[in-house]
Structures are given as C-alpha cells and as structure tokens.
C-alpha cells in the first residue's frame, strides 16, 4: 500500500470514455444520478481513492470487481459514498422551519394531531434531522401533548453513520441560535477536539435507515408520515426521475400531510397529488 511506485502509477491511470459510460449508466440506472461526460474528471478523481484502497492499478480492474457478485454486494456502497454529494447544514433554508413553527405545527395541534411522524428523505450526515428535532422539541415545550418521531434516510452508509453518532464540529453549529446550542449540544471533554454532540434526549427522537430513492417501493421503518422533507436532492435527477421519486414520496404522506422541497426545485407540469401552499411547500390532497 505504501509502495511509492504503486501510488505513482495509480495517479497516472485514467478513466476512458467507455469506462465512464459504463459507470455513469450504472449510477443513473440504480441511483438516478445523471453524470454527463463533463463529470468524467470528477468521477475519476473520486474513484481513485477506491482504487488505492483496493490496491487496483486500473479502472478496468475496478469496474470488473464492481460488477462482480462480491462487488455488487459490498463495493457499491463505497462507490456511491464517493459519487453522491453530501452538502447539508443546520437550519438550511430556515424559512421552512419558521413555517413549521408559526403555521404548520399550530395547525396540526388545532386538528388534534398530537403525534407526528416526520421523514428527512435525504438526511446525509443528520443536520436536517436534528434541526427538525430541535424545532419540534421547542414546540413541544409549549405544547406538551405533542409527540413526534423523525426518520432520516440516505443512500450513503458513511453519512448515516455520522448522523447516528451525532458529533459535529463547533464550526458546523455556527448557524444555530445560541439558546438552542446551549440546550441541545454538549461540548467534547477533549477541548482540542473542538466538537459537540447532540444531547441524548434529542437523539432518542430520531432513527436512521439506509434507503435509495430510486427503489420502486420505500420500505421505511415508519409506514406513513405527516411531514416529508426532500430538499436539494431532486436537482441531481432528470425530470422523469424527479416525478417518479416525488410520487413515491407522496404515497408515503398521510392525507393533508406536507412535503418540503429545496428552494431551487420545481414541480411545474408534474402530475402530483398535492397542492402548493407556499413556494416549495406542498400539501397532499385527501
């Protein structure tokens, strides 16, 4: 592994157009992520890490392994970790959380909906899940009858592991209001680590599950939901795939449940059983 000639040869190897086509077709067919030829250099640089880890000297060797029965069972999870984009932040697109606090949660309580199931369908490393948990927990403090459960799913095993551990850098929690930081995060005893961890009481309200939005059926731990977040993931899919994914998500929503999309995502001209309440916020019809 530390052979300098091996490392040098690894970084000289390149991904051919035909190899890229094989990989990009597999990624699109199985994960819905569209990679045009312009992304070849990006894919090559990300997968070089896997070649080095596996001590393989060419992308041809790697592809043969990836498509073997062993590779399809084991390597695919590592490959998609490298390919998928995992950008997320606490209180990202905060208008959604303000809408929940000021309008949606009071509406649910007035309708005697005291038990809420919430799904973060592209949870990445958990920031969205724990933001939702903080928002709901704060509302519960003022409305003790409320009970809630939050499910976070993602295609990346690595990201889900981070979400379950719930340890973040001090820089990551900068967007969080100070009173929430003090209430919901514990500093590491190792001050050099500069990390914090979400408190146990909040972690207890969450669960996580590996799930690919390209699956034809979403077998989730919680069968149906009052609120689903699917933000800033549809942008990686083509229009046809977006519509299929959205319809599957809506199937998991209860009547009058709410769907939240990312600010740059549009459902114009799609056949969906929802009505728009606000930009990027939709309610399922009866």
Catalytic residues, by residue number, are 46, 154
3-state secondary structure 199-264: CHHHHCCEEEEECCCCCCCCCCCCCCEEEEEECCCHHHCCHHHHHHHHHHHHHCEEEEEEEEECCC
DSSP β-ladder status, 206-210 and 147-154: parallel
Which residue is it, tokens 């959205």? 246
**Cβ neighbours of 186 (radius 10 Å):** 13
Question: CA 233 to CA 213: how far, in whole Å?
Answer: 10
Q: How many helical (H) and strand (E) elements, i.e. helices and strands, does the chain have?
A: 13, 10
């Amino acid at each position: 592994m530390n052979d300098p000639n091996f490392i040098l040869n690894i970084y000289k190897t390149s991904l051919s157009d035909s190899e890229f086509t094989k990989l990009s077709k597999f990624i699109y067919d199985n994960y819905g992520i569209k990679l045009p030829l312009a992304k070849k250099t990006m894919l090559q640089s990300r997968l070089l890490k896997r070649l080095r880890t596996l001590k393989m000297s060419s992308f041809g060797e790697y592809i043969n392994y990836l498509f073997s029965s062993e590779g399809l069972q084991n390597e695919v999870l590592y490959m998609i970790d490298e390919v998928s984009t995992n950008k997320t932040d606490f209180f990202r697109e905060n208008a959604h959380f303000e809408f929940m606090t000021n309008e949606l949660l009071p509406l649910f309580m007035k309708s005697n909906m005291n038990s809420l199931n919430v799904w973060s369908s592209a949870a990445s490393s958990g920031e969205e899940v724990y933001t939702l948990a903080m928002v709901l927990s704060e509302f519960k403090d003022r409305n003790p009858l409320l009970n809630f459960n939050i499910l976070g799913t993602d295609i990346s095993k690595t990201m889900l592991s981070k979400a379950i551990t719930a340890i973040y850098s001090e820089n990551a929690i900068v967007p969080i209001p100070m009173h929430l930081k003090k209430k919901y995060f514990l500093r590491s005893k190792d001050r050099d680590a500069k990390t914090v961890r979400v408190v146990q009481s909040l972690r207890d309200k969450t669960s996580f599950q590996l799930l690919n939005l390209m699956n034809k059926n979403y077998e989730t731990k919680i069968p149906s939901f009052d609120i689903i977040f699917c933000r800033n993931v549809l942008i990686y899919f083509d229009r046809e795939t977006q519509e299929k994914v959205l319809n599957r998500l809506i199937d998991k929503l209860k009547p009058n449940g709410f769907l939240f999309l990312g600010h740059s995502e549009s459902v114009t001209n799609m056949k969906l059983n929802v009505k728009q309440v606000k930009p990027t916020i939709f309610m399922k019809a009866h």
